[in-house]
Amino acid sequence: MADKTILVIVDPTADTHPVVDRAAWLAKDCSASVELFICDYDADIDAGQTSAVWVKQTENARDHLVGILKQKLEDLAAPLRSAGLDVSVDVAWDHPLGEALVRKIEKSDPWLVAKDTHHHNVLKRTILSNTDWHLIRECPAPLYLAKPDAVDEHPKIVVAVDPLHEHDKPAALDHNLVAVGQELTVATSGELHIVHTYPLPQPMSVPEGAPIVDLSEEVEAE
């Protein structure tokens, strides 16, 4: 089994899953295994457990739904396994979704977490869900939010770091992000960019003659 695992978060409500193909591509180039994961929860199924009979019915309904989701993952895993990749599947019944995903990531300790993002047809821009934002803030492992667009032959790998550690993220996470970014860059013949952004003070303009803070040394040190 590969030492590195790409944890792929699969949306059970989506019709297509481009992140699975993207993860397979990266896993092949980076000699990594793949774990396909669905987290789901239905409050109606768990509501009103007031008797032993109801508890049994709830367990049956939950087990039935989990079985359907696991089969969905097995169907997605089949072509990856046929291509020679090491693929496992897992389903969790847990909520709230963002917190449940972080619990899974902490338990699995993957090399990379991959998840789909979606385009809005009118705005032609990527729309991040509340779950995406939660993972951006809280994910303890390198996170890759995959767009459905085709990847360039020599992709630009952008790694976002926080050299000031203002948001309580451990310094080791930045080092891990850069290390994974370097591996992805080599594996994909890409171009690595390491960035850090921060908000401008109010008002949203820089007065003439104001000093410009250069954080390049801090970023380079990471």
Q: 28: domain CATH number? A: 3.40.50.12370
In contact, 4 and 35? CB cutoff 8 Å: no
Same domain for 198 and 90 = no
Asked if 139 and 158 sit in the same domain, the reply is no
For 111-125, b/e burial (b = at least 16 CB within 10 A) is bbbbbbebeeeeeee
**Which domain covers residue 163, as residue numbers?**
152-222
Tell me the HSE value of 128 on the side-chain side, using a 13 A CA sphere. Answer: 12
Confidence band for 1, pLDDT divided at 50, 70 and 90:
very low
Same-domain check for residues 51 and 89: yes
Q: Is the dihedral of CA 170, 113, 138, 198 positive or negative?
A: positive
Q: Which two tokens stand for residue 204?
A: 């949203």
* Each residue's pLDDT tens digit, 18-41: 999 999 999 999 999 999 999 999
Report pTM: 0.83
181 and 79 in a single domain? The answer is no
User: How many domains does the chain contain in total?
Assistant: 2
Q: Are residues 180 and 114 in the same domain?
A: no
Residue % of the chain over a pLDDT of 70: 77
Asked if 171 and 183 sit in the same domain, the reply is: yes
Q: Which residue type, as a one-letter code, is found at position 21? A: D
Assign 207 a pLDDT band (cuts: 50, 70, 90): low
Task: Pick the last residue of a domain from 115, 149, 183.
Answer: 149
Mean confidence (pLDDT) of the chain: 85
Residue where one domain finishes, among candidates 97, 124, 149: 149
In this predicted structure, the answer to whether residue 165 has a pLDDT above a threshold of 90 is: no
Among 133, 149, 165, the domain-final residue is 149
Residue 157 shares a structural domain with residue 65: no
Residues 138 and 63 in one domain: yes
Give pLDDT, residue 163: 81
Which of the residue ranges 47-56, 67-76, 110-119 has the most confident prediction, judged by mean pLDDT? 67-76
Q: Do 145 and 156 belong to one domain?
A: no
